Amino acid sequence: MILLMRSLGHSVLNFLTAIGKIGFFTLRAVFHSFTPPFYPNLILKQMIEIGFYSLPVVALTAIFSGMVIALQSSSGFSLGGEKAIANVVVWGITRELGPVLAGLMVTGRIGASIAAEIGTMRVSEQIDALETLSTNPFKFLIGPRLIAGVIMLPLLVIVADIIGIMGGFIIATFDLGFSPDSYIRNTWASFEFIGFISGIVKAAVFGFIIALMGTYHGYYAKGGSQGVGLATTNAVVSASILLLLFNFILTAIFFA
Amino acid sequence: MNTIIPESKISLRNLNKSFGNKIILNNINLTIQKGESIAIIGESGTGKSVLLKCIIGLVQPDSGSLSIDGKEISMMTHKERTMLNSRFGVLFQGGALFDSLTIWENISFGLLQEKKLNKKNAKEKAIQIMSEVELDASVSNSYPSELSGGMQKRVALARAIATEPEILVFDEPTTGLDPITSNVINDLIIKSVRVLGATAISVSHDISSVKKIADSVAMLHEGRFVWQGSADKIEKSQNDYVTNFINGVSNNQSLPSSRP
């Protein structure tokens, strides 16, 4: 019994320590993102890495999701389907699937690579070298990734929204035989500003979470290649879970 | 230990550091004179790297005093500490070159960060330093992964001396190199220290390298110094730890700590 209590207490303490460590890391990271010196070249490089190179995966995910929603809802709404399908596609994509799927894809692509890159820099003493060369790793490595994540994820989600809705349009017109112009009219009628904005806000938060978890786990990587592997796994898992948790919280704030 | 205080460059007094329950540095005392080249030797895991990291400010000691030029480090502001960093040049064990940057960008990194030079002059300066460490200018646009281990060490040395630091720190400079390359690196280290008139601290377990590059030697064992003396006396030392270390004999637990 005492053993059980002890191990329980131990894990609670570990959990609280981790929360504190992440909290402190977050404050430092945000503080250094907003104080000079800034590295515009590095921010731009990360924006291209996170935003531009993620376009193909995000676009593919979005188009198939849009198509699936249209197919699934067509079997659900047998009467007056045309309007309902356009509505479900627009709402589903802009509110949920656009940001969440783009976020999860970018977590796999970018969260992992950030953790691996910074983790390798940590275990090969490159981060120590930065400090001895009068460079703050929070400004040089972490800040640019956070800024790029917060800026680029919303842009990716706008692209995902457009392509996802287009996926629905393709199924509705080619497969279900709806007339293109009335489908587009219904799509416009279903579009609601708050749903779109909630998706963009979610995307910015997700971008922050992905970059934060990648940099955090990379920064505290230990040991050799195994440590980097562990950091990468932890970055992806923790970012995915946090992303879904914050998706729920933000949905509750916007719509409940 | 009878040193004249004003001349000492780096002074450690009763320095302690532990990680969890494990004591790494146990009441360390060490004085390094200006212009001196000291080597810290000892088995792996005796705290040499932690001691180096305390001196260059990457690890905070738990207690004790660490002063540079008579200024206590723990009393410094963050800004003073950052300023102090630029007076150090560090050659890391694995080189720690930035693999996303080219060779010349690596070498001039410190210069560009401190905004001492613009980009064009920085490249010229980098190429000039490359010739000092006998590197061909043709590799200036290569990336570190394209160079051999020995060349990477030269680049790392070039980066360490680029800002003309007052204190040079070498963490196992010849580990993993063949004897010929080791000798070249040793010679380059001696040359750089002399040219800059710098104070040098090396950590090594390569005795031939130590004898070459250092004036004095301090041996660390289980977190404390067990022997200190000049480098040319190391082989005549009667200290069991030192003789065992030189001969590659493991120290068993009951060994007495004799001092010369």
| A126: chain B residues, CB-CB within 8 Å | 96-99
User: Does the pLDDT of residue B2 top 50, yes or no?
Assistant: no
Strands B88-91 and B167-171: parallel
Residues of B with CB under 8 A from a CB of A: 53, 56-58, 82, 85-86, 88-90, 92-94, 96-99, 109-110, 113-114, 159, 163
The structural domain count of chain A equals 1
Q: Determine the average pLDDT of the residues in B95-105.
A: 93
pLDDT at A30 over 90: yes
- Give the three-state DSSP class for A204: helix
pLDDT, one tens digit per residue, over B13-65 is: 998 898 888 888 888 899 999 888 999 998 887 888 889 999 988 888 899 88
Substitution target in B113, B116, B155 with the highest count of A β-carbons within 10 Å is B113
Residue B258 has pLDDT above 70, yes or no: no
Asked if residue A135 is part of any domain, the answer here is: yes
Q: What is the mean pLDDT of residues B72-93?
A: 85
What angle separates helix A98-106 from helix A193-219, to the nearest 10 degrees?
20
Look up residue A159 and give its DSSP letter.
Answer: H
Burial of B39 (C-beta count, 10 Å sphere; 0-12/13-18/19+): buried
A126: closest CA of chain B, how far (Å): 5
Task: Say if residue A228's pLDDT is above 80.
Answer: yes
Judged by a CB distance cut-off of 8 A, whether residue A124 touches chain B is: yes
Considering only the beta carbons, identify the residue of B53, B98, B114 that sits closest to A134: B114
Has residue A210 been placed in a domain? yes
What are the CB-based long-range contacts (under 8 Å, 24+) for B182-187? B182/B206, B182/B208, B182/B209, B183/B212, B184/B134, B184/B150, B185/B150, B185/B153, B185/B154, B185/B157, B186/B212, B186/B213, B187/B212
A–B interface: beta-carbon pairs under 8 A: 46
Cβ-Cβ contacts under 8 Å, A124 against chain B: 94, 96
Give the confidence band of B254 by pLDDT, cuts at 50, 70, 90.
very low
In terms of C-beta density within 10 A (0-12 exposed, 13-18 middle, 19 or more buried), how is residue A57 classed? middle
Cβ of A131 and B58 within 8 Å? yes
Confirm whether A11 is domain-assigned: no
Average pLDDT over residues B89-117: 89
Asked whether residue A45 is domain-assigned, the answer is: no
Asked if the model's pLDDT at residue B255 lies above 60, the reply is: no
**B85, A134: Cβ pair inside 8 Å?**
yes
**pLDDT at residue number A77:** 66
Contact criterion met (CB < 8 Å) for A133 and B96: no
In whole angstroms, give the CA distance from residue B140 to residue B102.
7
Q: How far is CA A134 from CA A117, A127, B82, B87, B91, in A?
A: 21, 11, 6, 10, 15
For residue A96, which amino acid is it?
E
Token code pair at residue B218? 């301090």
Give me the mean pLDDT over the A215-243 stretch: 95
The verdict on a CB contact (< 8 Å) between B58 and A135 is no
- The answer to the question of residue A42 being in a domain is no
Q: Please answer yes or no on whether B53 and A129 come within 8 Å at the CB atom.
A: no
Distance from CA of B186 to the nearest CA of A (A): 21
What percent of chain B has pLDDT above 70? 93
Q: Which of A124, A125, A132 sits opposite B85 (nearest CB)?
A: A132
CA–CA gap between residue A48 and residue B144 (Å, rounded): 24
**Per-residue confidence band for A75, with pLDDT thresholds at 50, 70 and 90:** confident
- A209 domain residue, yes or no: yes
**pLDDT at res. A105:** 96
A132 lies within 8 A of chain B by CB:
yes
A41 CB within 8 Å of a chain B CB: no
Nearest CA in chain B to A129: B96
In this predicted complex, what is the ipTM?
0.86
Beta carbons of B85 and A124 less than 8 Å apart: no
| pTM, 2 dp | 0.88
Mean pLDDT, all residues of chain B = 86
Domain assignment of residue A250, yes or no: yes
Sheet holding B71-72, edge to edge: B22-33, B8-19, B63-68, B71-72
pLDDT per residue over A101-160, tens digit each? 999 999 999 999 999 999 999 999 999 999 999 899 999 999 999 999 999 999 999 999
Kindly state the average pLDDT of the residues B113-122. 82
> Hey, is the C-beta of A126 within 8 angstroms of any chain B C-beta?
yes
For residue A111, give its domain range. Answer: 54-255
Chain A residues whose CB is inside 8 A of the B99 CB are 126
Q: Produce one character per residue of B132-168: b if its CB has 16 or more CB atoms within 10 Å, e if not.
A: bbebeeebbeebbeebeebbbbbbbbbbbbbbbbbbb
Strands B216-221 and B224-230: antiparallel
In a domain, A202, yes or no: yes
Average pLDDT, chain A: 93
pLDDT at A245 over 90: yes
Instruction: Provide the pLDDT for residue B4.
Output: 45
Mean pLDDT (whole number) for A242-252: 96
